A and B are shown apart, each in its own frame.
Chain A
Amino acid sequence: MNPFSSETRLRDMIRAIRACKTAAEERAVVRKECASIRAAVSDNDNGYRHRNLAKLMFIHMLGYPTHFGQMECLKLIAAPGFPEKRIGYLGLMLLLDERQEVLMLVTNSLKQDLNHTNQYIVGLALCALGNISSAEMARDLAPEVERLLQFRDPNVRKKAALCSIRIIKKVPDLAENFVNPVASLLKEKHHGVLLTAIQLCADLCTVSEEALEYFRKKCTEGLVKVLKDAVNSPYAPEYDISGIADPFLQIRLLRILRILGHGDADASDLMNDVLAQVATKTESNKNAGNAILYECVETIMSIEDSGGLRVLAINILGRFLSNRDNNIRYVALNMLMKAISVDGQAVQRHRATILECVKDPDASIRKRALELVYLLVNETNVKPLTKELIDYLEVSDQDFKEDLTARICSIVEKLSPEKIWYIDQMLKVLCEAGNYVKDEVWHGLIVVITNSTNLHGYTVRSLYKAIQTSGDQEAVVRVAVWCIGEYGDLLVNNIGMLDLEEPITVTENDAVDVIEAAIKRHTSDLTTRAMCLIALLKLSSRFPSCSQRIKDIVNQSKGSLLLELQQRSIEFDSIIEKHHNLRSALVERMPVLDEATYSGRRAGSLPAVVSTSQGNPLQIPNGVPKTMDAPLLDLLDLSADEPAPQNSSGPNFLQDLLGGDVLSSASQSGTTQPQKGGTDVLLDLLSTGSPPAQNGSSTADILSISQDNNNNKTSVDALNSLSSPMVTSVQSTPASSIMDLLDGFGPSPTVPKDNGPAYPPLVAFESSSLSLIFNFSKQPGSPQITQIKATFTNKSSDIYTDFIFQAAVPKFLQLHLEPASSNTLPGSGNGSITQKLRVTNNQHGKKSLVMRIRISYKLNNKDMLEEGQISNFPRDL
């Protein structure tokens, strides 16, 4: 016997682990313990087996591997004594899982223990079975469990009932065997048995339609009566939770009634009375009472309509909303969210209370309430609700502002009755929380502004006022700078005054002051400064008298460390200086941006929006490698014959706004590097064919392009299919590769939609004498299934006879081999054998195909054998 084995007691080990000051110390202690346990395992040391297993469970909880203890569990379960069995079953539930084959070995012990005379041992076995049973075990042991449903001791009956749930979940076919026993269990008085039987009944109803019908007919009335008794029962101290009689049972009863009543008017009728009783009689000053009410509300919402009850239910939720307990308010909001689809009108009545919850100090309640408010907004209440929310924005927590602004903007956008109101509300939001809004919010605002021609003057004046008071909000600054650049003349001359406006006096110098302040503000980032430069260029033409001053400001950026700004200021300076004739035409007002295109693009490039923060090329100074995805994609856009400015997506939108200037310069700014970077990006895209998320905005952009081409499903695949020939060309001639790629991309939409994607043929096997080529095809609509046509060619001069091809695949694949065209393979490549294979990939998209092959044939009556493994299948088969 190993002298070190098992000498420490469980407690000593726990103390030793607890005494460890560092993770490394803990690991050392655990390692030592594990070593001695392993030694004991290999010595087959009986005496300390159960102590060792107890230790292992503790070690397991701390997250260390304990697989070597699995067999010990089985040995302990097979032991006769109670303590061994107990710890064995505990270990079984913790250390093993239903997928391990070891588990099959325990079935027999379980069967014996289920028939044991000691009811506690039966209880242990039931518990283990209920927790970890696999489908096979469920099948094997179902008769035992079924029998135990009638066991004399109620404690065993209740465990057997829950164990049955696991069995029918694993093997739904067995459900019918349990229907009758459950029906009789439902008549029992014993609390635990009733509770578990109801649970089993609910699960039977979900797996089997017939069971549901049966219980609906036979048991609804009985269950209603049980609930009625529970509601009206005198105080029963043993099951009360803080003064409420037996809440768990009532909740289970309400839940089963919900299942039985759902979609069935007769059953629903039967339960109306009792539901009304529960809703009115249950005390709501305790958590347990509220739990019952909550469940009752859910049941009322799900069963067939009875108007009176629904009003009662929504009123209960209304009461919940004003409860002081956070938990109650939280669940009430959850439930109202569900109720809104059932009875929106009734929920509307509690709008004011819900709005109060948006201001709750508890973040999760606020979040819920905001989602709910969002669902509640409609044309009639949008104005007062928006006002409330914007007012609250002022005092809300910093970290809640982002959510709140996003919701407000979305509400305003969705339901604004008129443009002027939209612009006003957006300005308020930006002034309050301009630093928290996402980029697309102010992009969207600018699109709306350009579209409302009659409001240009009003907007630019409002923005001028706004930037005076809220100049610290980035989004306000950007929108104001953009608008002043575009509509500076309207600002100065008070053109397009609305009746409600008060006239303001702004000189040309004042307008330039604003831009100058913005460009010099130390918190302004590259985007804002770039926008300022363009605004200045535009103003230089609009305000000829300020031209010299503007030139000076532009010149200050010539020394900028940011290549982008430096280059832009040099270019603009020369425009202002030398090209007077060109200038006014160059800086004309932007054409009206098309709202439909913008919103469509936004919807189409959702992933791009998510990755804006890293993907926006303007955030990165100097336009080196990463920035290249945008210009390159623009090139791609061109190749797709779409007008470029309208075709780039989310993050590139800014460049559209800037008139494409920044864009073109970015592609000029680095002459050699960008191209390399660009091809890399494309190379990645094409060669890996990986899911869009990995490639961030660039892939998403391609997706949006493909949508423009009305070919959204196939063109990405088409890109992939083009990969292998193109990758080689990219590598050999990097300079011309972009053109190649573009050429490749151009015709891609013409790939016929219906044939599904194409894959290059694969040389699956090649020897000096024999070669095997796979051709792939897929049926559209079933991406998991790949049809493979295998072609065998014999390059030697001899004839191969009795030619047999065999293949094997791992478990996640299914392989179907069709008969070969022949079993004789003529020599010298004078013919071939073809054979079709069908492979179904159950892990399509996660794992790629892999196959082991064996080819046997006779050469001059001598047996020959070739074997090989193919793991270089195209990735997305």
Chain B
Amino acid sequence: MIRAMIVINNQGKPRLSKFYNYTPVEQQQQLIRSIYSVLCLQPENVSNFLEGSSILGPDSRLVYKLFATLYFVFVFDSSENELAMFDLIQVYVETLEKCFSNVCELDIVLNYSKMHTILDEMILGGQVVETNSEKVMQAVEEISKLEKVTAATKLISKSASLLWG
């Protein structure tokens, strides 16, 4: 299964992190730091896989890909195919691209919860749910629509109450 999905920027700041096995906050931070410390030392043109046993515990592997300023990292165990995980990063980023068109780090920081929505549509409980970015987008758009409708009604009632108050 997939153990974690982490996005870190090239200064080591976490931009998205999701652990599919329970990990206490301190340990999450520790892991993110140690992953970053390994990643930032990786030279260019080397394979995107790392043996993770030393930092992530037994039977864990790590695949990463650097897009502009962001490292996208998947941590997973031996039941997953490394090359497929590498493609999954690609699918995730493609979806982000469709969602934000010309995605940059700022989009990701500000739309933090949307990132999670997309991730939840793709991976559930450490397993891949959907690999078609069109379908993921459909679901995400439906969800934002639902949110907006309710938010709009709320806004009206709120401004009304402001008027009254």
Contact = CB atoms under 8 A, between A and B. Distances in A.
A159 B129 contact: yes
B87 interface: yes
Which of B16, B18, B84, B88 has the most chain A CB atoms closer than 10 A to its own CB?
B84
A357 to B, nearest CB: 11
Nearest to B16: A61
B159 to A, nearest CB: 12
Contacts, number: 164
Given A82-B146, A326-B46, A295 B81 contact: yes
Contacts of A82: 146-147, 150
Interface in B74-132: 79, 81-84, 86-88, 90-91, 109-110, 112-113, 116-117, 120, 124-125, 127-132
A537 interface: no
Interface in A74-103: 81-83, 86-87, 90, 93-94, 97-99
Contact of B51 (A61, A192, A238, A364): A364
Contact of A287 (B26, B87, B135, B146): B87
A165 B125 CA distance: 8
Contact of A290 (B17, B83, B88, B129): B83
Interface string A231-267: 0000000110100000110010001000000000000
A364 B112 contact: no
A291 interface: yes
A398 B143 CA distance: 54
Contacts of B46: 326, 361-365
B45 interface: yes
Interface in A658-675: none
A83 B127 contact: no
Interface stretch (A327-335, A636-644, A730-738): A327-335
B131 A239 contact: yes
A57 interface: yes
A72 B144 CA distance: 22
A86 B146 CA distance: 10
A746 B66 CA distance: 62
B87 A90 contact: no
B91 A241 contact: yes
A14 B109 CA distance: 8
Given A162-B124, A165-B125, A327 B110 contact: no
A427 to B, nearest CB: 33
Interface residues of B, number: 56
A294 interface: yes
Nearest to B26: A63
Contact of A159 (B51, B86, B124, B147): B124
Contact of B139 (A47, A155, A191): A155
B144 to A, nearest CB: 10
Contact of A326 (B45, B113, B124, B127): B45
Nearest to B32: A63
Given A83-B151, A330-B47, A251 B81 contact: yes
B124 A239 contact: no
B113 A163 contact: no
14 contacts: A93-B18, A130-B124, A130-B125, A132-B22, A159-B129, A195-B128, A196-B129, A238-B135, A239-B131, A287-B86, A294-B83, A295-B84, A330-B82, A334-B82
Interface of B: 13-18, 20, 22, 24-26, 28-29, 45-51, 79, 81-84, 86-88, 90-91, 109-110, 112-113, 116-117, 120, 124-125, 127-132, 134-135, 139, 142-143, 146-147, 150-151, 154, 158
Interface of A: 11, 14, 18, 47, 54, 57-58, 60-66, 81-83, 86-87, 90, 93-94, 97-99, 118, 120, 123, 126-127, 130-132, 155, 158-159, 162-163, 165-166, 191-192, 195-196, 199, 238-239, 241, 247-248, 251, 255, 287-288, 290-291, 294-295, 326-331, 334, 361-365
- State the 6 A-B residue pairs at the shortest beta-carbon distance, nearest first: A291-B83, A130-B125, A326-B47, A63-B29, A97-B22, A330-B47
